[in-house]
Amino acid sequence: MNPLLLLYLNLVRGPQIAAERAQKEAEEKAKLDAANPKPLVKEKEEEVPKGTCKKCDKEVAVAELHANYNDLCYQCANNPISLLSPLFIFQLISILIALSIFLYRNFM
């Protein structure tokens, strides 16, 4: 009996309940809209959400931050030298030194 009840609730009664709920919400929304009509002129324009750049602390739109590495403004993201941190430069130099030592010991 349990599997049959589960199938009935999921396949038959579930969509009916969802449709009834959606219809009831639409009716309530229509009543609220009829009671409180929206003004034709917008009183205030919507503000664009702002964020700050991780490197230069400039205020920019959140959409611009998401388009450029999630933390940088357009100018900082387009400057490839600014993306190099001192630790990253140190790691590159140490890799080059290790590679030169390896080549010197094996081929000289």
pLDDT, residue 54, reads 79
pLDDT of residue 25: 94
Question: How buried is residue 74: exposed, middle or buried, by Cβ count under 10 Å (0-12/13-18/19+)?
Answer: middle
pLDDT of residue 6: 79
pLDDT of residue 106: 93
Confidence at residue 26, expressed as pLDDT on a 0 to 100 scale: 93
**What pLDDT sits at residue 27?**
94
How far apart CA 42 and CA 32 sit, in angstroms, is 19
Question: For the chain, which residues make up each domain, given as ranges?
Answer: 1-36, 50-107
pLDDT of residue 14: 81
The whole-number mean pLDDT for each consecutive block of 10 residues of the chain, a chain of 108 residues, reads: 77 84 92 78 70 82 74 79 82 96 92
The tokens for 102 are 């390896």
